[in-house]
Structure 1
């Protein structure tokens, strides 16, 4: 029989969601006649960088210079509806990203596939500036092994996520050829589902060329700040979410379940302030405190539930919400790694008042888990 690794389930869900969002957004990018007027762009870029030694456990294997390349395919969106959101013309695309960490026996290399959005300032001009955000799926060739590869605490699993942001300066050589210089910050992690998982952070400098198959004369449009993009200025959320974590000690996968409530208030065209609370039942924490009590390490059996308050910021782009929250524990008898944490999320509205999303919880540079959630808004 085929063995199923249950710790890979959250990863598969995440990738499915990202691809669904990408395909939906691509369909929305068509004009009213159903015919896409968006230029198709293909790019080839090369990169060279460094590894940031963000924890003592990976410092000894962080002194190399990664190098890699990337293939990009994107639509450069041109509609007036898109312009209204950012007063810019963004690209919506996908990239195949390869990086060799210049230590093949210990750290190896990674190949990633990720969708991205990349707003451009000055699209169509001789010089333009782009800002890219992307997240997707990554495969690592070399991972941690207690006996044969104990130094690689970056990766505990072959399968992980990649998240990145970059800025680029683009020079139009001709109508169809664009030169590009990029500074990027990249992060690969399995989201805490398989340990060890310190993750790897590697900034890179890149140069490349983009080819435009159907050049387009970008229309100059006025910035009308009076346009109301999000008529619903307030929103109440109720959410159920789940995830999973693997324990090195117990050698199995444990579920994480939670409920969430919050309030969002628009304070600009696309910006909103957010306040909320969450209650989390982490079955790995429950098992850990129970085992410590049974082994006589502790005299008490603390509650594994954790209750937190959160606050933060949202970017609201129609059906999409990008969020960044900070949370702190009000109730945590089983002490957490730190007193406060961060959350980063993406939600997509697939029906009136119904959203599906992914959200990553981390304590500083260490990701606890990435959850999948269903949200009902009021």
Structure 2
């Protein structure tokens, strides 16, 4: 009990020092830039905030973490592209940025994380005072206390390096041309993508409060009609590969996936997608068995972000392999269009709220 108390005190002191450092840096930045009053169509923003929430116990194997509170500090840099060229390319005025997070997971077995996330914000409402945006992001994370012989309770992750994902909604109140207050609600996830087991992942919904500073004044352009919507029709053949760690034996196994994807309709911001996947997950040394094979159709949505495609699909197995725990599955992907001839990217496959594996993929557009 004494060691746990000391660790919590140490974490609180660490977070306190970080808060003081960030506030000093923020005040220094304001003093340096306070004289800049030029109106910009590409304004830069610095923000500092905190968030808190509960760890989501999404499987009985994590029941010992019931009631754990999570706290986080976030420092962000972002740029808002208020140009007609950006609006024509994206269908909205996009804001992109980088964030640095310190997260205290509230339990000695989970420790803390330092992670960096690249994110994009599509704005849904852009008023003079009130603004509403969505937010999606991904990045890299350092985890202090992964699973090991000395830490057997942490089944959420077994590597020091993992991959954080975030999705949420922001509501801004603009105090003046430079300062704004942001209230956010987001869902966050960290796992290693199946590189090593155990890898049940950390899921945590949070609420946050952030103070944002714009280095220059800016004016949000009025929205004008952009003409006829271009249909984003695309048919592609996809191949993906992952080297997955087995939960029981910790041995590496090959995962290969062949997919057929069709996207059509939607709006400037999205398209509807229909897919079929054929998946092979290595099971022992017997390659003649049908056990490694899974087949299933999927349907979902794809967000169009310039040349990026961020998709979410849900599917059901018509042939379920030995490694599949249930009949329903999801695939989340990020793909980049190369000369409108092919796509490259990564996808995360999950069953419910438990990640299965992360795979790298390439696609040929037909």
The alpha-carbon deviation at position 290 of structure 1 amounts to 4.1
Q: TM-score, normalised by structure 1?
A: 0.80
Inter-partner Cα distance in structure 2 for 1:229 and 1:340:
33
Q: TM-score, normalised by structure 2?
A: 0.83
Inter-partner Cα distance in structure 2 for 1:121 and 1:276:
28
**Are the counterparts in 2 of residues 85 and 229 from structure 1 also a CA contact under 8 Å?**
no
Give ranges in structure 1 of 5+ residues lacking alignment. 1-35, 292-299
Find out whether 1:350 has 2:338 as its counterpart.
Answer: yes
The alpha-carbon deviation at position 264 of structure 1 amounts to 2.0
The alpha-carbon deviation at position 175 of structure 1 amounts to 1.4
The alpha-carbon deviation at position 153 of structure 1 amounts to 1.2
Q: Which residue of 2 aligns with 1:227?
A: 228
Give ranges in structure 2 of 5+ residues lacking alignment. 1-39
Structure 1 residues 331 and 115: alpha-carbon distance in aligned structure 2, compared to 1, 3 A threshold: same
The alpha-carbon deviation at position 212 of structure 1 amounts to 0.7
Inter-partner Cα distance in structure 2 for 1:371 and 1:207:
34
**How do 1:102-181 and structure 2 match up within 5 A?**
102-103=106-107, 105-123=108-126, 125-145=128-148, 147-181=149-183
Report SS of the residue matched to 1:66.
strand
Report SS of the residue matched to 1:330.
coil
Structure 1 residues 376 and 155: alpha-carbon distance in aligned structure 2, compared to 1, 3 A threshold: same
**Are the counterparts in 1 of residues 320 and 327 from structure 2 also a CA contact under 8 Å?**
no
Structure 1 residues 333 and 217: alpha-carbon distance in aligned structure 2, compared to 1, 3 A threshold: closer
TM-align CA RMSD: 2.3
Structure 1 residues 270 and 130: alpha-carbon distance in aligned structure 2, compared to 1, 3 A threshold: closer
Aligned partner (choices 43, 47, 54) of residue 51 of structure 2: 47
Q: Which residue of 1 aligns with 2:215?
A: 213
Q: Which residue of 1 aligns with 2:194?
A: 192
Report SS of the residue matched to 2:85.
helix
Deviation by residue 1:196-249 (Cα, 9 ceiling, x = unmatched): 11111112222121111122112112244x33344xx43221111111111243
Q: Which residue of 1 aligns with 2:30?
A: none
Structure 1 residues 377 and 302: alpha-carbon distance in aligned structure 2, compared to 1, 3 A threshold: closer
Inter-partner Cα distance in structure 1 for 2:293 and 2:167:
34
The alpha-carbon deviation at position 91 of structure 1 amounts to 1.1
Q: Which residue of 2 aligns with 1:259?
A: 258
Structure 1 residues 329 and 48: alpha-carbon distance in aligned structure 2, compared to 1, 3 A threshold: closer
